[in-house]
Amino acid sequence: MSKESFVKSAAILSIAGFIVKILGAVYRIPLTNLIGTEGIGYYQPAYNIYNLLLVVSLSGFPTAIAKLVSERRALNNFEGAYQVYKISKWGLFVIGLVSSIFVLVFAHQIMDILGYPGSYYSMVALVPALFAVPLLSSYRGFFQGTQNMTPIAISQIIEQIFRVLAGLYFAYYLINYGLEEAAAGATFGASVGGVASLLVISIIFFINKKNINNEIKLSNNNKIENTWDIVKSLLYIAIPITIGASIAPLMGLVDSYLVSSRLSVIGYTDVQIADMFGELSGTAQTLINFPLVFSTAVAMSLVPSITDSFTKKHKTKLNKTSNAGVRIALIIGLPCGIGLYLLAEPIIALLFSSLGPEKHASAGELLEIMAISVIFLTLVQAFTAILQSVNKQFLPVKNLVVGLVVKVILSYILISIPSINIKGAAISTTGAYLVVALLNWYDINTKTPININLIKLLIKPILSSVVMAIAVFVSFKLLIGVFSQSISTLLSIAFAVIVYVIFLFVTGAITEEDLDLIPKGDKLKKFVRKK
């Protein structure tokens, strides 16, 4: 694959991924305003289970399929590549069929065990998605293996658009029947999106089938392999990736279970628990996801650059690029975390106006706690990208497992304290990601040729963030006396962004090398302070 083709393919998937993440983050705002925190409390537990089951089909298998298809095509064995696709498709068909039937039959028991009986309809509404999405991943893996990323990007965008539009439509349509039904309408959006995406990529595959057949006919090195050998190869690649990818959704599932079980211990009812969990996942967690859209893009851009330097043994460039990536992560994470902390309640009120003042205050408290986790999360993403790029991909997995244990212990203790209650889940999440970030940092400095001087990297971004924090605090206090809270919040955010960007260049927090990691960053190089 030429460098130009690689860059084009990466760009296509990056743009699609960015659009998907933006749509996903924005989707929660109108949905929460429509069905409220109690409705989100019925929606989220089912979605957490769905995410965990989906990891099996959407994380390791497409990568494994792509690798095996790519290897056989490189050897001019196009029939072998197609055989990998056919075997994986049947295997994923079985996985989808079993998981969807399992959830359909045991949905009541699953939600009762988790402590959210009101999420039963939401769980059942996801059954079609559990069947469709594994099949979808077989197509995506095949196209990735043929280095054709456009069908993957189209299917991802179609899936998210249909999920958002259908989810909001059915939630709105069913709201008069009850919150449990409306939440199920929202989760059904995932099923509509999955089926629509599967239909589209199937059509694209059918259109490409003639070219695939021609490649097989023209090949002089076709070879049919033993089915079990291919299955073993798929599992060998897919299982480690799947285990690593399972940690994050597992953390969400554990969160929902511990919130339910520990709150019930101190006397909260099922409805109150759903309402409080919806507050956490529908408002605070939604806003935490916005900065991660940008930090994820930076982390993705780090991988090829660091991999190139590591492969060529360019130690100086390797360290420079790695430190630049961490600096950019801090430049994104610090102001977002501090800004969300300082304007937590006004931002909640601005975006979730239908919830009312009492909810704005309580959700604001949760956001204040979780805002700090943004800083650690952006660091975790950067550190993980660095470790993966230097063939240390199992270290971040190990550290995430440690973080999960920390979260379980903290949640178990804190949530059952009446004065803390649901805030214990927010505190445990922040604590868990702090631990993961520190462990990743330690592993980079001790088990790779890279040295990350985190203290040195923090100084200039912190200085710029402190100036920004003062600007936010003062401007909001002055504006609130003249304008409404919503307008004051928007103006304060705009003013803070301007002040922060100016001080990034004034302090020299941004260097020319950093801008190479940002799309169109070369346009800003003329503003960089010369040393």
Answer whether 74's CB lies under 8 Å from 147's CB.
no
Q: How far apart are CA 125 and CA 54, in angstroms?
A: 15
Is 490 exposed, middle or buried (CB count within 10 Å of its CB: 0-12, 13-18, 19+)?
Answer: middle
pLDDT digits (tens, 9 = 90+) for 295-312: 776 766 666 677 777 777
Mean pLDDT to the nearest integer, 112-134: 91
Q: How far apart are CA 389 and CA 479, in angstroms?
A: 47
Of 401-405, 437-441, 520-524, minimum mean pLDDT range: 520-524
pLDDT digits (tens, 9 = 90+) for 336-347: 999 999 999 999
Residue 213 CB partners (closer than 8 Å, separation 6+): none
Please give the pLDDT value at position 488: 94
Mean pLDDT to the nearest integer, 379-397: 84
Looking at 285-343, list the stretches that DSSP marks H as alpha helix, in order from N- to C-terminal side. 285-311, 315-342
Answer whether 62's CB lies under 8 Å from 248's CB.
no
Match 């977002």 to its residue by tokens: 336
Closest CA to 37 of 354, 432, 497: 354
> CA 206 → CA 81, 97, 133, 142, 144, distances in Å?
16, 23, 18, 13, 16
**What tokens appear for 127 in the block?**
């059954």
Please give the pLDDT value at position 438: 96
Q: How far apart are CA 45 and CA 215, in angstroms?
A: 46
Residue ranges per structural domain of the chain: 1-245
Phi, psi for 352 (deg, rounded to 5): -120, 60
Of 61-65, 175-179, 264-268, 460-464, minimum mean pLDDT range: 61-65
| pLDDT band with cut points at 50, 70 and 90 for residue 221 | confident
Mean pLDDT to the nearest integer, 234-254: 79
Q: How far apart are CA 140 and CA 152, in angstroms?
A: 6
> CA 510 → CA 429, 466, 470, 492, distances in Å?
30, 16, 21, 23
Please give the pLDDT value at position 13: 63
| Residue 473 pLDDT > 90 | yes
| pLDDT band with cut points at 50, 70 and 90 for residue 381 | confident
> CA 499 → CA 324, 328, 493, 507, distances in Å?
22, 17, 10, 12
pLDDT digits (tens, 9 = 90+) for 315-325: 888 888 888 88
Closest CA to 390 of 321, 488, 309: 309
What three-state secondary structure class fits 126? coil
Between these two residues, 187 and 282, which has the higher pLDDT value? 187
What percent of the chain clears pLDDT 70, i.e. is strictly above it? 91
Please give the pLDDT value at position 396: 87
**How much is the mean pLDDT over the chain?**
86
Q: How far apart are CA 103 and CA 56, in angstroms?
A: 15
pLDDT digits (tens, 9 = 90+) for 486-528: 999 999 999 999 999 898 888 887 766 656 555 555 555 555 5
pLDDT digits (tens, 9 = 90+) for 161-214: 999 999 999 999 999 999 999 999 999 999 999 999 999 999 999 998 888 888
Please give the pLDDT value at position 497: 92
